[in-house]
Amino acid sequence: MGLADRDYMRARARSRGHARTQASRHAAGRDRIVAIARVAIPVLSLLTYLVLMYGDMKRGGWMPDWKPALPFPESGSVTAARDLSRKRVSSHLAVQTSDANAVVQLFDPDTGAHALSIYVAGNDRVEVPVPRGIWRVRLVEGSKWHGPADYFGPNTSYETVVNLMTFDKGWHHRIDLRRRPDGNLPTRLMVSGPEPLK
């Protein structure tokens, strides 16, 4: 065997060793990803349920709250923005609540300006006229009312309806706040609390 053959054989052995090292690195990386997925999937599933439970606990009044309660506004009463034109009010919204009291709010999706808040007592159903337009709908729920600045205190559940809602002349929408697995109103829990009403 000549020198050229010997060098060729050494280079070939080195490349085989490099290929084995690369294959073992890929296998180790794949094993790490599988191990992370085995832990992450159950943790993320549990986190989803914990977020839902947290909203239910706040609506049910499970958080400590030592402030005295105020009377909740009459069911069906509203707080409207000062610049809201009566001519725009030609659509309707019906709201059915569960055990918690609710304040259903309409906001301008572009400016974030408050247009209307509808007060609905627990286990009640109301239908009120609302302004035409495309609105961001937010839901404020709880049991112990503390007024339009603090809402339900530490037990304030605050959610945003995921999709914008369109109200046109003569339209009737219905929101049912009795949570069910087959419900069709997807919401997102808000981290910050609702802004005080003026």
Q: Which residues pair with 116 in a beta bridge?
A: 80, 106
- 32-41, 93-102, 173-182: segment of lowest average pLDDT: 32-41
pLDDT, tens digit (0-9, with 9 covering 90-100), for 80-107: 999 988 888 889 999 999 999 999 999 9
1 pLDDT band (50/70/90 cuts)? Answer: low
Listed ranges 103-112, 151-160, 169-178; the one with the highest mean pLDDT: 103-112
191 pLDDT band (50/70/90 cuts)? Answer: confident
Q: Which residues contact 45 (CB under 8 A, 6 or more apart)?
A: none
Q: Which residues contact 50 (CB under 8 A, 6 or more apart)?
A: none
DSSP 87: G
- pLDDT of 175: 94
CA distance 81 to 71: 22
Query: Given a cut of 70, is residue 69 above it in pLDDT?
Result: yes
Query: Given a cut of 90, is residue 197 above it in pLDDT?
Result: no
- Contact, 194 vs 138, CB < 8 A? yes
- In percent, the amount of the chain with pLDDT more than 70 equals 73
Amino acid (one-letter) located at 153: G
pLDDT, tens digit (0-9, with 9 covering 90-100), for 70-82: 999 999 999 999 9
Specify the residue for token string 């890929």: 26
Q: How far is CA 13 from the centre of its chain?
A: 59
The residue among 184 and 118 whose pLDDT is bigger is 118
Query: Given a cut of 60, is residue 174 above it in pLDDT?
Result: yes
Q: Tally Cβ neighbours within 10 Å of residue 137.
A: 22
180 pLDDT band (50/70/90 cuts)? Answer: confident
When the pLDDT of each residue in the chain is averaged and rounded to a whole number, the result is: 83
Q: What share of residues in the chain are helix, strand, coil (percent, to 5)?
A: 30, 30, 40
* Phi, psi torsion values for 59, nearest 5 degrees: -60, -35
Closest CA to 145 of 69, 57, 61: 69
pLDDT, tens digit (0-9, with 9 covering 90-100), for 118-153: 999 999 999 999 999 999 999 999 999 999 999 998
Global confidence as pTM: 0.71
Which two three-digit tokens encode residue 146? 């503390």
Which two three-digit tokens encode residue 121? 């007592």
H/E segment holding residue 9: helix 3-59
- Contact, 139 vs 161, CB < 8 A? yes
pLDDT, tens digit (0-9, with 9 covering 90-100), for 24-36: 666 666 777 767 7
CA distance 186 to 163: 8
Instruction: Tell which phi-psi region holds residue 123, choosing left (phi > 0), alpha (psi between -120 and 50) or beta.
Output: left
